[in-house]
Chains A and B, each alone.
Chain A
Amino acid sequence: MIGLSQFLIISAALFSLGIMAVLTRKNAVNVLMGVELILNSANINLVAFSRFSAGNLHGQMYAIFVIVIAAAEAAVALAIVLSMYRLLKTVNLDKADTLKG
């Protein structure tokens, strides 16, 4: 029987992998892929809980909106990354250092 736990473990794995990509990768597009993994893991959670916890489709509605938001965010993020490439000829995050932190 496929229960709730299997889906939760998969989503936890995707979440952790997404965090890993964000923390360790230097290429901006790679970091974006990590962000997409995080959002997908949350979506799996939402749909799984929608079926097992809520018994209605509200979780799936929430997931649709998350997909919309993820698409818009990816578009703007890539616009910024492309702008960076135009300025610096690279998208290596190490080179983004004019603003000393």
Chain B
Amino acid sequence: MDPQIVLDLHSFYPEIALTLTLLAVIIVDLALPRIKKSATFLVTALGLLAAFICTLPLVHDPQGTLFYGMIAIDPLAVFFKLFLILTSFLVLLIAPGSRELSKDHIGEFYTLLLGVTLGMLLLASATDMLMLFLSLEMVSLSSYIMVGYLSHQRESNEASLKYILFGAVSTGSMLYGITLLFGMTGSTKMTQIRDMLAQGTAGGDNTLMLLVATVLILAGFGFKTAAVPFHFWCPDVYAGAPTPVTAFLSVAPKAAGFAALMRFFFTGFSKTAGAGPWTALPAINWTVFLLMISVVTMTLGNLAALRQDNMKRMLAYSSIAHAGYILMGTVALSEQGVQSVLIYLITYLFMNLGAFLIVIEIHNRIGSFNVKGYSGMWHRSPFLTIAMTIFMLSLMGIPPFAGFFGKLYVFGAAVNHNLAWFAVVGALNSVIAVYYYARVIKTMIIDADAEGAEVARIRLPWTTHVLLWILLIPTAGLMLVWDRVQQLTLDSMKIFFG
């Protein structure tokens, strides 16, 4: 065995832990049929915790690539590994409480959750286009299956069908674009692609082909992050999938997609002037593309959310709009832009998962996702109403909640990059968004109950209470530990450039 590979394995413990847990869950699911629900849950939870703990020492590793340049180890990769494992852990805690997921076969759900987490860890650190594509497909395939988990239910099946057909075409187009890049540069490693493109092999001839390749590659990234015009799958898939899966999809694969996008564009298509900010390669000004996509995504997401009554569809369009804000951070081609993306993702994780958790709980009680069913919730469960209000306010971007800081940093990065008008567009969009978030709050607090509707108090299981507090505290109290958060993201800004 090649000694270099053995050395690299020492930095690969999180992924190894996830793989071993995956195998363990399969075996436990088969071997202990009577206690398999709790046993598989326990094994998955322990495995995710082990992976999280194994990731922490990686901060001290020197920046570099592993396995012959396939994946990178740098602070950004470590940040995303921790972020993604945390998200999967929270979704793992949320999942058993949902009435939608069939308890009998939940062992397979945990297996898929572990598989998608493994894929996401690799996606966030991939530096080779092959590894990028393979991990992207791994995340996507596991997501398709998770969405179609309730295969006997028409909505879930339809959602997974639309998801897989749309996804296969998008990733296939991305692959075609990658092959064109391969032809122009002779290599699939992002660092070598950058070197070849920067050498100025691009005369007037190659600009067009670079344009075509970039548009095709953006098809794949746009699909993963649900950016316009590759967002068509998003509302239907979010509405049809089991809600814990929707909650997961709205945060984790999106974040991993953003990590891969940043790594591809910042290390593959940019060059750095010494220790300063990056500049886009003269051959292709890709920041313009991302700018246009960001503006359209924000606006369309917000406008479409205005008309939705189904909570899951509304949150789907809201997540599309948030993807637009996050893209704003990537347009600001600087370390500040990267930092703003990281901060936004941290805030987005807690407030989005919180909103979905409450949607799950209410669905467990009233069996519907229609916002009209939320009327009078204030009388039925004040705690749920207050929690939902906080999450909605945070999603709106109202201080002092976490969402405000995310938007502040993203808009700030745009302004500092001489794109003040861009920040204004973002601010206007936030104002539009206030309407549909506020409508939920208003329905819960002010609207009177419909005739004959239940007015019984809702008693939440203690697990939901604990989970809600876990998600509420960061959403409401993030500014108390703001220094730590800022320091964390500052340290994580470094991307391996090679």
Asked if chains A and B are in direct contact (CB within 8 A), the reply is: yes
Closest Cβ of chain B to A10, distance in Å, is 13
Q: A41-B176, A49-B179, A54-B186 are in contact. Are A99 and B159 (CB under 8 A)?
A: yes
Q: Which residue of A lies closest to B181 (CB)?
A: A49
Could you pull out 12 A-B pairs where Cβ atoms are within 8 angstroms? Answer: A18-B172, A19-B169, A38-B169, A38-B176, A48-B183, A53-B182, A54-B182, A62-B182, A73-B137, A77-B165, A96-B161, A99-B235
Q: Which residues of A from 38 to 84 have beta carbons under 8 Å from B?
A: 38-39, 41-42, 45-46, 48-49, 52-55, 58-59, 61-62, 65-66, 69, 72-73, 76-77, 80-81, 83-84
Interface of B, helix, strand, loop or mixed by DSSP: helix
Q: A42-B175, A72-B141, A84-B158 are in contact. Are A55 and B152 (CB under 8 A)?
A: no
Q: A39-B172, A61-B130, A98-B155 are in contact. Are A46 and B179 (CB under 8 A)?
A: yes
Query: What is the CA–CA distance of A32 and B134 in the complex, to the nearest angstrom?
Result: 19
Q: Is B187 on the interface with A (CB-CB < 8 A)? A: yes
Q: Which of A18, A65, A81, A83 makes the CB contact (< 8 A) with B130?
A: A65
Q: Which residues of B contact A34 (CB under 8 A)?
A: 169
Q: Are A65 and B183 in contact (CB under 8 A)?
A: no
Q: Which of B160, B164, B185, B188 makes the CB contact (< 8 A) with A73?
A: B164
Q: Which residue of A lies closest to B238 (CB)?
A: A99
Q: Is B449 on the interface with A (CB-CB < 8 A)? A: no
Query: What is the CA–CA distance of A88 and B433 in the complex, to the nearest angstrom?
Result: 38
Q: Are A38 and B188 in contact (CB under 8 A)?
A: no
Q: Which of A46, A77, A83, A88 makes the CB contact (< 8 A) with B182?
A: A46
Closest Cβ of chain B to A58, distance in Å, is 6
| Chain A proximity mask over B134-146: 1 for CB below 8 Å, otherwise 0 | 1001000100110
Q: Which of A45, A73, A80, A98 makes the CB contact (< 8 A) with B179?
A: A45
Q: Are B141 and A53 in contact (CB under 8 A)?
A: no
Query: What is the CA–CA distance of A52 and B184 in the complex, to the nearest angstrom?
Result: 11
Query: What is the CA–CA distance of A22 and B162 in the complex, to the nearest angstrom?
Result: 12
Query: What is the CA–CA distance of A83 and B150 in the complex, to the nearest angstrom?
Result: 10
Q: Is B239 on the interface with A (CB-CB < 8 A)? A: yes
Q: Are A80 and B152 in contact (CB under 8 A)?
A: no
Q: A35-B172, A45-B176 are in contact. Are A99 and B164 (CB under 8 A)?
A: no
Q: Are A54 and B152 in contact (CB under 8 A)?
A: no
Q: How many residues on chain A are close to B (CB under 8 Å)?
A: 43
Q: Is B168 on the interface with A (CB-CB < 8 A)? A: yes
Closest Cβ of chain B to A60, distance in Å, is 12
Q: Is B148 on the interface with A (CB-CB < 8 A)? A: yes
Q: Which residues of B contact A45 (CB under 8 A)?
A: 176, 179-180, 182-183
Interface size class of chain B, counting residues whose CB lies under 8 Å from the partner chain:
35 or more
Q: Which of B134, B137, B158, B184 makes the CB contact (< 8 A) with A99?
A: B158
Q: Which residues of B contact A32 (CB under 8 A)?
A: 165, 168
Q: Are A96 and B162 in contact (CB under 8 A)?
A: yes
Query: What is the CA–CA distance of A83 and B154 in the complex, to the nearest angstrom?
Result: 9
Query: What is the CA–CA distance of A7 and B151 in the complex, to the nearest angstrom?
Result: 41
Query: What is the CA–CA distance of A81 and B168 in the complex, to the nearest angstrom?
Result: 14
Q: Which residues of A contact B240 (CB under 8 A)?
A: 98-99
Q: Are A69 and B169 in contact (CB under 8 A)?
A: no
Q: Which residues of A contact B183 (CB under 8 A)?
A: 45, 48-49, 52-53
Q: Is B243 on the interface with A (CB-CB < 8 A)? A: no
Q: Which residues of B from 232 to 264 have beta carbons under 8 Å from A?
A: 232, 235-236, 239-240
Q: Which residue of B lies closest to A8 (CB)?
A: B183
Q: Which residues of B contact A81 (CB under 8 A)?
A: 161
Q: Which residues of B contact A39 (CB under 8 A)?
A: 172, 175
Q: Which residues of A contact B182 (CB under 8 A)?
A: 45-46, 49, 53-54, 59, 62
Q: Which residues of A contact B184 (CB under 8 A)?
A: 53
Q: Which residues of B contact A76 (CB under 8 A)?
A: 141, 144-145, 164
Q: Is B98 on the interface with A (CB-CB < 8 A)? A: no
Q: Is B173 on the interface with A (CB-CB < 8 A)? A: yes
Q: A53-B186, A98-B154 are in contact. Are A66 and B175 (CB under 8 A)?
A: yes
Q: Is A87 on the interface with B (CB-CB < 8 A)? A: yes
Give the most central of B129, B158, B239: most A CB within 10 Å.
Answer: B158
Given contacts A39-B172, A49-B182, A72-B141, 9 further A-B contacts (CB under 8 A): A38-B169, A38-B175, A42-B175, A46-B182, A76-B145, A87-B154, A88-B154, A99-B236, A99-B240
Q: Which residue of A lies closest to B175 (CB)?
A: A42
Closest Cβ of chain B to A98, distance in Å, is 6
Query: What is the CA–CA distance of A101 and B154 in the complex, to the nearest angstrom?
Result: 15
Q: Which residues of A contact B111 (CB under 8 A)?
A: none
Query: What is the CA–CA distance of A28 and B155 in the complex, to the nearest angstrom?
Result: 16
Closest Cβ of chain B to A91, distance in Å, is 9
Q: Which residues of B contact A53 (CB under 8 A)?
A: 182-186
Q: Is B294 on the interface with A (CB-CB < 8 A)? A: no
Closest Cβ of chain A to B363, distance in Å, is 16
Closest Cβ of chain A to B227, distance in Å, is 17
Closest Cβ of chain A to B470, distance in Å, is 31
